[in-house]
Amino acid sequence: MPLYEGIGLTEKQAVVIDIGAAYTKFGFAGESGPRCIVRTEIKCPETKQVKKVLNYSSEEELYDLLVEFIHVLYFRHLLVSPKDRRVVIVESLLCPTAFRETLAKVLFRHFEVSSILFVPSHLVSLCTLGVNTALVLDVGYVEAILIPVFEGVPVLHAWQAQPRAAEAVQSSLKASLLNINSEKEDFPESTIEDIKVRTCFVTSLTRATQLEAVDQPPDVVYREGGSEIVHIPGKVRETVYEVLFEQDNDQMSVSTMILDAIIKCPIDMRKPLAENILVIGGTAMAPGFKARLLDELKHLLQQPKYASRLALKTFKFHKPPAKENYVAWLGGAIFGGTDMISTRSLTKEAYVKHSSLPDWADLSYNCREEDKISL
């Protein structure tokens, strides 16, 4: 049961789901944190092997995986019936259409929920701060996505994304450890993630530019399974996150994404966005990440590419009232606790009648009334 469910309430609290590539946040609207944060994976009914939900080869396979996964969420972690409550789905604006349609089909057809409200993660994250304007950077597991929000409206033409996030960091760490510990053939993904979280950190820009000349941090001994010993050099601990700040073939990194997005925005938006930066996602919880990001931004402003186009002097970061990995979920929980849950939700009856989801990328839902006749 939710922590705060009043005696006179006529409707039970909605369920809020934030499905990420690595972890899923699940809980009730109106609460300050998710009831559970679990890996987005399930044991395949046919092969009996653990499989990530987002690693699907067809929509039919995705449907089966989502049925098993959501069943576990409801009946193992929350212990509530899906039919009794509305659902709030926190999703990225860049979420594939096939995934959201399959997810809606599972919830409506299989679990028979009464209604679903899809909310954009970058927008509802601002509900946790009480502001309408911010530049939201989500550094998750597979990719980093940045969308500016001005006066409550996402500036879609200025969005930025790059496929470098926690997965790239863990791949770099795994390659370094296999090279050092030559007797090991492979490391489980869970072990690599645990090593990353427990021992690695983001170094400062000054040290990053002269790593060979400065003293290295101490080495660490990690015990895998309680018996096997893995040696982790200090240099590996300090440099594993550099992949996020190194520019790729398109001259893009996590820091250049912010400046490129600001340049694409109108001049009157640039200063408010630069002074309202919100960084979310599990990767942003790495020690030293925000300090390094701020130093990178100040350094890039002095480069010819940006010095002639941006007249910014300061950057300011918001500190959300929750851990970065579930800020978006908390925004959805706040949004789901308002009357928007009843006025803007897609009901089961409407879904069965039209068999489609409203989508901002679909012109039949995203145009003026007088233009719908021609469509």
Q: What are phi and psi of 65, to 5 degrees?
A: -65, -40
The pLDDT of residue 148 is above 70:
yes
Q: How far apart are CA 187 and CA 176, in angstroms?
A: 11
Q: Do 263 and 139 belong to one domain?
A: yes
Q: 360: pLDDT confidence band, cut at 50, 70 and 90?
A: low
Task: Count up the domains in the chain and report the number.
Answer: 3
* Least confident residue range of 84-98, 140-154, 204-218, 250-264: 204-218
Mean pLDDT to the nearest integer, 252-268: 94
Is the residue at 102 inside a domain? Answer: yes
Compute, in degrees rounded to 10, the torsion defined by CA atoms 64, 66, 72, 78. -150
Q: Do 337 and 214 belong to one domain?
A: no
Q: Name residues whose C-beta falls within 8 Å of residue 312's C-beta, 6 or more positions apart in sequence.
A: 262, 270, 271, 274, 301
pLDDT at 363: 64
Instruction: Estimate the crossing angle of helix 254-264 against helix 267-274, to 10 degrees.
Output: 150
pLDDT at 4: 45
The pLDDT of residue 115 is above 90:
yes
Is the residue at 24 inside a domain? Answer: yes
Domain that holds residue 179: 166-243
Mean pLDDT to the nearest integer, 286-314: 92
The H or E element spanning position 205 is helix 205-208
Q: Do 268 and 152 belong to one domain?
A: yes
- One-letter amino acid of 336: G
Q: 356: pLDDT confidence band, cut at 50, 70 and 90?
A: confident
Among residues 174, 153, 144, 152, which one has the least CA distance to residue 282?
144
Q: Do 159 and 55 belong to one domain?
A: no
Global model pTM greater than 0.95? no
Q: Do 269 and 358 belong to one domain?
A: no
Q: Name residues whose C-beta falls within 8 Å of residue 197's C-beta, 6 or more positions apart in sequence.
A: none
Among 192, 214, 243, identify where a domain stops.
243
The domain that contains 302 carries what CATH number?
3.30.420.40
- One-letter amino acid of 160: Q
The pLDDT of residue 146 is above 90:
yes
Q: How far apart are CA 151 and CA 206, in angstroms?
A: 36
Rg (CA), the chain: 22
**Between these two residues, 23 and 353, which has the higher pLDDT value?**
23
